[in-house]
Amino acid sequence: MTALLTLPLLAASTDLGPGTLALLAGGLLVAGAATAPIMVTGMTLVQRLTPEGRLNEGMTLAVTALLAGIAAGAATGGRTVEYTDPAHGYAVPLCAAALALLTAVAAARPIRGAVPA
């Protein structure tokens, strides 16, 4: 996802005249296509890692965190676009995805029931 989010940023930073909008739309489509598999994977991990009998709380916390992240990202992106170049607004989700990737790598631990590689 982090790598795919570079596509809208690159497209918005490129000035190809009338073709820029089509390039941006394509970059957003490709980057957005990765959203559903990532959400399914995340919710599956929540389901597997949440203790039995606490799944409702686990899913509620995951969805609440997701919505808080969307709200914070929208506010940060909007402020970035308002006070800098509009193309810089596409750097906000890229930075957020990179931070999430680094956090996941740093906190990586074996998952219960996972088959060793």
Tens-binned pLDDT, residue by residue, of the chain (117 aa): 889 999 998 888 887 777 788 888 999 999 989 888 989 999 999 999 999 899 999 999 999 999 999 999 999 999 999 999 888 999 999 999 999 899 988 888 766 665 565
Is 114 part of any domain?
no
Residue 94 included in any domain: yes
CA distance 84 to 18: 22
Q: Which long-range contacts (CB under 8 A, 24 or more apart) does 82-88 make?
A: 86/12, 87/9, 87/12, 87/13
The reply to whether 100 falls in a domain is yes
Find the domain containing 62 and state its range: 6-106
Q: Is residue 26 part of a domain?
A: yes
The model's pTM is 0.77
Would you say residue 44 lies in a domain? yes
The number of folded domains in the chain is 1
